[in-house]
Structure 1
Amino acid sequence: MPTGVAIRDVREQLFDAAERVLLRDGRNALTSRAVTTEAGCAKGVLHRHFADFDAFLTDFVLDRIGRIDARTGALRGSAGTGTVADNLTAALTALFESAAVAIVGLITARDELRARLRRDLPAGVPVLTEAAELVAAYLVEERDLGRITADADVDTLAAMLIGTAHLLFADRFGTPPEAEGVRRIVTTVLVGVGPRP
C-alpha cells in the first residue's frame, strides 16, 4: 500500500487478516509479514499500531474472545426456551466453528503470548475458560428455572462440555462434527441432571 494512504479500521483489518492466515495456514505461518501481506498493507503498519508482534497477537486474541462471547452470548438469552440440550448444542457448535480451536493452538504454542494473556484473563486456557464460564452461567439460569436439578454442579458440567466439545472439533483440517455428534456429547454429560418429577 502506498505511503500516505489512510487505512480505515487498521486494527480490525489486521485482526481479520491474522484470522484468515491462522485458519488457512496454521499457527506456524502466522508472522507479521504474513498478516500484513494478507491485509494488503506495508509491514510497518502493524508496528506503528503495536509495540511488537506478541502485543499484536495479544490484542488479536482478546478481540476474538470478545467475538466468541458475542457469538455464544445468545446462550444465556435462551434459558427457559427450547431444550437445554439443543441450546447447548447450538452454542458449542457456534463456539468451535469459529476460530476458537486455532486460537487455543496459537496460545499453547507461544509462551510470550500466553504470559501476556495471563495479565488480562483468569487462570486456565484463554477462550476455553471464558466459554466454560459462559456455559456455567447459562446452566445456573436453567437450574434456577428448574430445568436441571437443584444440586447440579454447573462448573463441572461446563468444564466437561467445553473440554469434550473441544476434543471433538480439535482436528481443524478434518470434517467438522455433525450437530447430532455434538448433541450426543451434550446429552451424555447432562445425564442425571434433568429435572426430577
Structure 2
Amino acid sequence: MKREFAVIGLGRFGGSICRELSAEGMDVLAIDIYEDKVKEFKNIAAHAVIADTTDENVLKELGIRNFDHVIVAIGDDIQASILTTLMLKELGINKITVKAQNDYHEKVLNKIGADHVVHPERDMGKRIAHSIISTNILDHLELSDEHSIVEVKAGKKMDGKTLIQLDIRAKYGCNIVAIKEADEKGINVSPMATQKIEKDDILIVIGADKDISRFEKQLVVED
C-alpha cells in the first residue's frame, strides 16, 4: 500500500526528502510559504501548495490528518517550526519528524511531542569526520546521544581471525550485528562466533560512542 507523506519547508533538506520520496513512488504533498519554492516542486511531488502551516485552519483545509507521516523541514524560522509541530501534534498526526536548528530548538520540539528530531548538518558533519579519521570507516549513523552504528571495512588487524578470537564484545563493548563478505556472497546477519573475518569484509557494528571510538582506534584504524 502506497504511503502518503507531507513535507513542510522546501529548502535543501526538505527539498531533498521530497525528491527522494517521490522518486520511490510515494505520494508527497510539498508545502512551502514561498511561491518560487512551490513552483519548483509542481512536477516532482504529487501535490505542491503555498501555505502558512502555523495556521491550524490551513492545515485542516489541506487534509493534513490523512497523511501517514509529516516532515517539518522549515529553515531558519524556529518559531514557525515549533508552531507548526504543535499544530500537527494537536491535530493527531501519527508521526512527525522535525529538523532542528540547534539543541535548544530540539529540546522544545521534544517537549511538544515531535516523534523524531534530526540535525542534518550536525549529523552529516559527524559522518564525514569519522570517514576522514580512517578510510576503513565507511559510514556512521547516530542512534541516540550516546549510541551509534558504524559500517567498517575490516583491515589487516582482523584478517583471518574469527569473531571469538577478536572477542570484540568483551574487549570493546561493541556488537557486530552483520557482516558483508568482501566477495559479495551476501550479508550474514547475526554471525556466529566462529565466523572468520577476511580483509575488506564490511562489518556493521553497534554500541556506545565511547566503545566504538576505542574499537576504531585500537582495531580498525591502520597504523
Shared fold (TM-score, shorter chain, > 0.5): no
TM-score (norm 2): 0.26
Structure ranking higher in strand proportion: 2
Structure ranking higher in helix proportion: 1
Structure with bigger RCO (C-alpha 8 Å, 6+ apart)? 1
- Tell me which structure has the larger Cα radius of gyration: 2
TM-score (norm 1): 0.28
